[in-house]
Structure 1
Amino acid sequence: MSAADAASARAPRPDEFTADRPFVFRNATVITVDSPGVIEGGDVLVRGDAIEAVGPSLEVPEGTLEIDASGGILTPGFVDSHRHMWQTALRGYGGDWALSQYFVFYYLQWGEVFRPEDVYAGNLLSALESVDTGVTTTLDWSHGLRNPDYGEAALAALREIPGRFVLAYGNYLAGPWEWSNTPEFRKFVSDNFSSPDDMMRLQLAFDVPGSAEFPERAAFEAARELGLRVTTHAGVWGATTDTAITQMYDAGFMTPEITYVHAASLNEQSYQKIAATGGTISVATESEQSAGQGYPSSWVARRYGIPTSISMDTSVWWSADFFSAMRATLSADRSRDHLEAHAVNETIVANRLRAEDVVRMATMGGAKALGMEDVIGSITPGKKADLLLIKNDDSPAMTPILHPYAHVVYQAGTADVHTVVVNGRVVKYAGKRIGLELAPIADKVAASVEYVRSKLGDQAWDEGMHPELPPAEQIENPYTYTEGDAHVTAATGDR
């Protein structure tokens, strides 16, 4: 079918998207995140699980379904390189927390309350939300897995949702040098990850606090033995410091297979070591701005040439809105540029981080952080068909589209997610999910919330959600308002 014929083609029905039938996006503004960059009025043909062709006015096989993408932007699916998916069942509960309150709630007080079914419910909701909002690949930084039964529950949830996932296995209630070397964990790995699968991969997730003995050595050795990448919270103010980076570097564990989450409060030598060894940084801007790990690290990462990806962290605080994450990242980076310039009495005359850079972080940056840059992250023939059509004919914010990259970052939103494709499967079309109902998942989450709340008790539940504020000192003001006078008068009586 020619492009001219597409103009009169009817919109496909959701049930017509089948595994054996090719489909094509017609007349989109295509952001390839690859050569040639942006294609105005471009087409993308999908056959099976892969992108077959990209370009204007594509000739397609007879019977190909036509998706009218005019007035829309077609991008690769977003890639979230760090999300604690199991915590989504308590969405927003910690919205007023500082980082220390997060640690106290999960690590010291209530972490043992959560069951495998609670991990399952949180993962299920988070996985659905991922594909619904155009995040086609999500790394589940799953540090609530106290034993392999929890791991099986996390996997079961991820397998129910047709997204692409990486289970980053962790256990914050036990030492990684212990659980990563148990027969039970090794059996979990062999049972579930014995053959390559781009739809479900495994990493190890653990942190290095910097204790003198460096017991995490055994966990890094386990990762190396199993051929697994490692994701670790680094540069978290007061928790994971430069000492940990030094230990990892001296032991030879800093490689391109390591992702450093946050990396927001390290010294120059640590950033140089990450850059020199090919590591990547996962920046979670909304988290770093609110929780205090340090200033969001995209600004320093680009100065050292460290590849950067974007992540949401946890919905116990923030949303899973990747548009918000991109917007926050670009704004925080530019704010830091201005602050640094103002400190030396200079003015920024050109923004160094561009919207195009942030779109790349959200796509190819994430793919690189997961070791999947040859599989996903760009609209390239031969790569897996993970695609996002941003289109909303009823939204004033979607017209006009003048600067496609800036439009994705600063204008579009989750309400504009029209079509989502994962591995060649259309999971959302015309703004509606296909065969993915919320109600049964919401029921499981509600049951999990009710259980956790019952274990805490009403008082602890309320106190956890509303942490007590320390007393704050008000700055003394020497100026007072004089009644009947429009001026403000200093305490001394001077005007």
Structure 2
Amino acid sequence: MKTLLRGGAVVSMDPVVGELARGDVLIEDGVIVEVGEYVDAPDAEVIDATDRIVMPGFVDNHRHSWQTAFRGVGADWTFPEWAVAMHGTVKPHYRPEDVYVGTRLGRLEALHSGVTTMLDWYHVAQSHEHEDAAVAALRDAPGRSIFCLGAGWGTPNPVEADIRRVRSELSGDGLVTMAFGLRGAEDTGTDMVAQELKLAAELDLRTSLHVASDGTQRPVADLHEYGLLRDTTTYVHANGISDDELRMLADAGASLSISPDVELKMGFGSPMTGRALAAGLRPTLSIDDVPSVGGDMFSTMRTAFAVQRGLDGGLRSRDLLEFATVDAARSCGLDSRTGSITPGKDADLILLRTDDLTVFPVTDPVATIVSAGHPGLVDTVLVGGHVVKRDGVLLGVDLPALRNRLLESRNRIAAAAGVPLDTTWHPQPNR
């Protein structure tokens, strides 16, 4: 099967392919086979990309989609309040069905806003049925997803048996794959981190780890001392770690995921974007959780861009687009498959409207995407060459039914937990 995207402004994120003011992209059997100013393919199905930017789909390498039902409730929360609310108050009332519908709607929301690849950092950790519900939700959403099985907040799980069990179900290289969410030395000690990394290597799993410092701790240096830094690990946030620790991550070939909106709003500190670059570490971007922030990569890029420019005048718009596409794909070990419009890669692509009044006229596509882009521009989405969104509408999804299920889930959990569904709810952290 051949598909030809005809006549769009191509932003490839590939230095060889470059940018085309008017170009065609030919897809065959889900793979990009040719990119050029004009591609002759008379036997291909044509998608008219006139007045569209054609670019690789966004890659979000850190999102907790099980929390989708409580979108916006935590807009005013600090990090300690979020921890008490989501992990201490509502999570114990989550059933597998709640995990399923939250994860599925969260993944569809990301897809709707142009995120073709998403790492879902799961830390509900209630039962095997909860884990299976999350995996099923990702499989039922037509995106490229990574199920990152991590420990529940304040719990000793998952154990080795859990990781092996889920890995046996996600052993291929299909649209849904697996990663391992590490607990970290602060929670379990370096010996346990070493055991978890050994298990990850045995099962060929990439790993992800939340880490930060208040200036009195050196979590990355501690791991470095014990030889536990890996080029297969993505470190999330990392606010407050020292410059020499950033260089340790760079030397190890590790990745860094920055969630600028959450980090600024919840009191983590300034995003580490500029400091990471100065240390030789290419940062990537992620959403984190939607109870507190929006779920699209456009606003995430814009926050990271504005903050760093305000601090030192650094960064250019292209940097942000690289963080959210090819750099993030590399952090997930998927840069040979996605992240740029490169012949031989899977066709994970999005088409953005350029005739929308919020961006018209589009003089510089890259600058426009970063400075003024928003989910309303996402007209068409392809994953592996399959069209999953067309003319602004997700295909093959009964959204009214899913919305009703999510509302029922949210209302039941809130009632069981005894919490209000508005921003008057301010959980009290333990002091």
- What TM-score do the two structures reach when normalised by structure 2? 0.94
Q: Distance in 1 between matches of 2:188 and 2:379?
A: 52
The corresponding residue for 1:348 is none
Of 378-387 and 397-406, more deviation after overlay is shown by: 397-406
Asked if 1:219 corresponds to 2:196, the answer is: yes
Q: CA RMSD in A?
A: 2.1
Q: Distance in 2 between matches of 1:465 and 1:188?
A: 39
Q: Which amino acid aligns with 1:249?
A: H
**How do residues 132-211 of structure 1 correspond to structure 2 at under 5 angstroms?**
132-173=112-153, 175=155, 179-182=158-161, 184-190=162-168, 192-194=169-171, 196-208=172-184, 210=186
Q: Distance in 1 between matches of 2:404 and 2:135?
A: 19
Of 376-385 and 97-106, more deviation after overlay is shown by: 97-106
State the Cα distance separating 1:139 from its structure 2 match. Answer: 0.4
Asked if 1:99 corresponds to 2:79, the answer is: yes
Q: Which amino acid aligns with 2:404?
A: D
Q: Secondary structure at the match of 1:287?
A: helix
The corresponding residue for 1:383 is 345
Q: Which amino acid aligns with 1:386?
A: D
Q: Secondary structure at the match of 2:33?
A: strand
**How do residues 10-159 of structure 1 correspond to structure 2 at under 5 angstroms?**
20=1, 22-34=2-14, 35-62=16-43, 64-159=44-139
The corresponding residue for 1:327 is 302
**Aligned to 2:324, which of 345, 353, 362?**
362
Q: Secondary structure at the match of 1:453?
A: helix
The corresponding residue for 1:483 is none
Structure 2 gap ranges (5+): none
Q: Which amino acid aligns with 1:362?
A: A
Instruction: Kindly indicate whether the alpha-carbon contact (under 8 Å) linking 1:95 and 1:318 is maintained by their aligned counterparts in 2.
Output: yes
Q: Secondary structure at the match of 2:126?
A: coil
Q: Which amino acid aligns with 1:358?
A: L
Q: Distance in 1 between matches of 2:225 and 2:260?
A: 29
State the Cα distance separating 1:380 from its structure 2 match. Answer: 0.5
Q: Distance in 1 between matches of 2:292 and 2:183?
A: 20
Instruction: Kindly indicate whether the alpha-carbon contact (under 8 Å) linking 2:354 and 2:362 is maintained by their aligned counterparts in 1.
Output: no
Instruction: Kindly indicate whether the alpha-carbon contact (under 8 Å) linking 2:350 and 2:381 is maintained by their aligned counterparts in 1.
Output: yes
State the Cα distance separating 1:323 from its structure 2 match. Answer: 0.8
Q: Cα deviations across residues 268-289 of structure 1 (Å, max 9, x unaligned)?
A: 2211110110011111111111
Q: Which amino acid aligns with 2:223?
A: M
Q: Which amino acid aligns with 2:195?
A: A
**Aligned to 2:426, which of 460, 467, 475?**
467
The alignment-based identity, stated in percent, is 32
State the Cα distance separating 1:211 from its structure 2 match. Answer: 5.8
Q: Cα deviations across residues 351-397 of structure 1 (Å, max 9, x unaligned)?
A: 4311011111110011011011111000011100000100153x223
Q: Distance in 2 between matches of 1:173 and 1:252?
A: 26
- What TM-score do the two structures reach when normalised by structure 1? 0.82
Structure (1 or 2) with the larger CA radius of gyration: 1
Q: Which amino acid aligns with 1:269?
A: D
The corresponding residue for 1:232 is 209
Structure 1 gap ranges (5+): 1-19, 338-350, 471-495
State the Cα distance separating 1:465 from its structure 2 match. Answer: 4.7
State the Cα distance separating 1:245 from its structure 2 match. Answer: 1.4
The corresponding residue for 1:424 is 385
Q: Secondary structure at the match of 1:461?
A: coil
**Aligned to 2:315, which of 329, 350, 353?**
353
Q: Which amino acid aligns with 1:370?
A: C
The corresponding residue for 2:225 is 250
Q: Distance in 2 between matches of 1:52 and 1:420?
A: 18
State the Cα distance separating 1:52 from its structure 2 match. Answer: 1.3
